[in-house]
Each structure stands twice: as structure tokens, then as C-alpha cells.
Amino acid sequence: MTRIRLLEGDLTEQEVDAIVNAANSALVLGSGVAGAIASRGGPSIGEECARIGPIAVGEAAVTGAGNLPARRVIHAAGMPPGGRASEESVRASLRAALELADREGARSIAIPAIGAGVGGLSMQTCAEISLDEARRFAETENGIEEIRFVLLGEPAYRVFEMVDDAARIEAQMRRLRDR
């Protein structure tokens, strides 16, 4: 069974099988999460991205993790270069990242707030889409044991926590009604 966790922290410090980069479709490591991954992981990640990219918005690609403690980086293309993320592109790219991680044999994956920040989505919308997609994936047959959302800063963490709590309460109320 796949467990979903929320954590306030630095994505680039996660010791997991895969971390997800909130990428653009050109796979150019610019600012935000991608910039942090490039800075901490070293040039090999960007060099692999250059050989692979571009990919379509909503798709995902995998590279090595360079100097990061993770084993690989999955680049979820939630927006075009210089563009904005949409609800549909974030949902599709997160789904593609989870499916790719599973195919790659990852048992643990750490994910940032894809589409928020540089992507332009509100943190609330990002949390709703991300947690919904993670729950849907967790209900499928897969080998991922842990989906960890790693949020930079307490405000982002609190928004994800609030959205997660609301979904849990709604599910509990539904179970009570169905008795």
C-alpha cells in the first residue's frame, strides 16, 4: 500500500529513490526547484536533460541525480519554458512522474509543489491537484511505498496539510453516511 506523507523541508536533501523536478518542457534547469536541483546536484543533471529534451507539457523524463542523495530525478513538465502551469498540465505531469517512477522501480518518491511559484498556480490549487492525483495513484497497483510531498516553508506545508485534512474529513463523513 502506498503511503502519502507531507514534510516541510528541502527537496534536494531527500534520501529517496526519486525526487521530482517541477520542470519546463524544454528540460532547461532554470530557477525555482529546477535551479535548486541544478545547483546542488551538479552539471550532469542538466547535461542529461539537454540530451533528452524537449518533451511535451504533461510528460515526464528521468535522469540521474548527480550529487543529490536521491537515486534519480524525474522531470515533470508542468509548463512550457517561460509559460505558466495549468491545472491540467500539473495533473498530467504529476501522473506521468508517478507512473515513470513506478516503471523505474522507485519505492520512495519526493515531490515539490509542482505548478506553484514559477508556474503561477496558487498553493491551494496545487495542493488540491497534487494530493488528489497522489491518492488516485495510491489506489492503483504499483510498487511505490511512499509518496512524500516536500514543501519549502511552513506556509506551503500548512496549505497542503489543510487540503489533506479536509479530504480526510470528507472521506470519513462519506463512510459515516454510507453505514
The domain locations on the chain are 3-177
The confidence score (pLDDT) of residue 118 equals 86
How many Å apart are CA 110 and CA 6, to the nearest integer? 10
Q: What is the pLDDT along the chain (179 residues), one digit of tens a residue?
A: 899 999 999 999 999 999 999 999 999 998 889 999 999 999 999 999 999 989 999 999 999 999 999 999 999 999 999 899 999 999 999 999 999 999 999 999 999 999 998 889 999 999 999 999 999 999 999 999 999 999 999 999 999 999 999 988 888 898 888 88
Contact 147, 14 (CB under 8 A): no
Closest CA to 111 of 129, 85, 88: 129
The confidence score (pLDDT) of residue 30 equals 86
Look up the CATH architecture of domain 3-177.
Answer: 3-Layer(aba) Sandwich (3.40)
Q: How many CB atoms lie within 10 A of CB 179?
A: 4
| pTM for the full predicted model | 0.94
User: SS3 letters for 17-70?
Assistant: CEEEEEEECCCCCCCHHHHHHHHHHCHHHHHHHHHHCCCCCCCEEEEECCCCCC
Asked if the peptide bond before residue 54 counts as cis, ω within 30 degrees of 0, the response is: yes
